[in-house]
Amino acid sequence: MLFLAGKVEFSLNLAFSYSLPQFAFDGRLLQFELTEINPIIKAYSPIEFKAGTADEIKFSGIAQSTRSGGNLTFRYHDLNINLEVNPKENWINSIVSFGANAILRTNNPAAADQPPRSVKFLAERDMNKGFVNLIIKSILDGMKETMNPSKENRREFKEAKNDAKNDR
């Protein structure tokens, strides 16, 4: 059993290639309070979770020498974030955080009759850091893509939602 930040239980499978400069990864984080990963999040971005529960994060992908790409499903509820874009101006941070919380979905899936949003992600590697750092960055980039999806991921989710509606 592995733990992220000493609190979040997760599993991770790695498959290294002997013939190619890449490795495959596949993992899952079990249910946890999002505030428990704030120390890790703050190392990579100006976001801090004020509240929320991650029901499950499943991810898989291929990491190459300079980047990784794959799929991630981040199921969560009661999301509330704090953005610190300017460390010296609390009023600006409050306005930006309010706007972000108004725009972001607080739950994934948004409703019980909808499928959870699954996204494709891309993460760039910091060449001065090891491969574990690329896996963490992949997860964080996938989480960000889930909360604020790109045009391609929005289109794919719309198709999945329509398919789920037609299957009923």
Count of beta carbons in the 10 Å neighbourhood of residue 26: 15
More confident residue, 96 or 152: 152
The 10s digit of each residue's pLDDT in 23-69 is 999 999 999 999 998 888 888 888 888 899 999 999 999 999 899 99
What band does 99 get if pLDDT is binned at 50, 70 and 90? low
**For residues 52 and 146, what is the distance between their CA atoms, to the nearest angstrom?**
15
CA distances to 61, 81, 117 from 105, in Å: 25, 11, 11
- Give me the residues paired with residue 26 across strands: 13, 60
Token output for 59: 């991810």
Determine if the pTM surpasses 0.85: no
Sequence-distant (6+) residues with CB within 8 A of 144 are: 45
The 10s digit of each residue's pLDDT in 110-141 is 888 888 889 999 999 888 888 888 888 899 88
DSSP character string of 51-107: EEEEEEEEEEEEE-SSEEEEEEEEEEEEEEEEE-S-TT-HHHHHHHHHHHHHHS-SS
What band does 82 get if pLDDT is binned at 50, 70 and 90? confident
**For residues 129 and 141, what is the distance between their CA atoms, to the nearest angstrom?**
17
Question: Kindly report the CA angle at 129 between 67 and 123, in degrees rounded to 5?
Answer: 25
Question: Kindly report the CA angle at 122 between 93 and 57, in degrees rounded to 5?
Answer: 75
